[in-house]
Amino acid sequence: MNRAGSNEADIQAAQPQAGEQARVPRSHEDGRRTQDTEPPSEPRTGAARRQDRRQVGRPVPDRVEALPRGARIRLGSEIRELLDRGERKRTRHLDVFFAASPVSRSRLGLIVPKHRHSIVERNLVKRRLREIGRRRAMLALREAGRPSDVLLRARRRAYEADYAVLEAEVMSAVEAWCSGVC
């Protein structure tokens, strides 16, 4: 005797085949949900959807938020040259190297070794140093009127430092460089 034929309630839903997506019923198709819930929304154009979005923050038009490509020291040869010919200022958490820039603008480079930390911790230190360099150090060098290359190398202790501590160390090194050279 076929069990499915005698009691249809025991029949289970068909399982999706390999590589096939499982179908999930929509809210208006599910018999267990009440129909007094929110009805499906009307399809709208892209412009109507964009108008409903809230602005989280407004970009400041007179201030560039990105570090321009020309203001970055990216090549290994440039970094090695700056390590060799640059003047070094040591702080508790950083080694800061300075040299006169061969181009007409100040540039920033970063070295953040792993020091047996996770990539998440390393990226946090990199983001902090990049922001400090972009917002504070490059601005101070531009105001001083002498283009310089700056290389920030994180030491082992930089992983435990707060943003404010790193910022104070970078700015003290930049001020010392500007007072001696500028």
Does residue 85 lie within any of the structural domains?
yes
Does residue 59 lie within any of the structural domains?
no
129 Cβ contact partners less than 8 Å away, ≥ 6 residues apart: 94, 110, 112, 152, 154, 166, 170
Does residue 141 lie within any of the structural domains?
yes
Asked whether the beta carbons of 93 and 166 are under 8 A apart, the reply is yes
Does residue 38 lie within any of the structural domains?
no
pTM score? 0.63
**What tens digit of pLDDT does each residue of 66-94 get?**
788 888 998 999 999 999 999 999 999 99
Structurally, the chain folds into a number of domains equal to 1
pLDDT tier at 144, thresholds 50, 70, 90: confident
Does residue 111 lie within any of the structural domains?
yes
* CATH classification at residue 161: 3.30.230.10
Does residue 132 lie within any of the structural domains?
yes
Task: Tell me the residue range of the domain where 117 lies.
Answer: 71-181
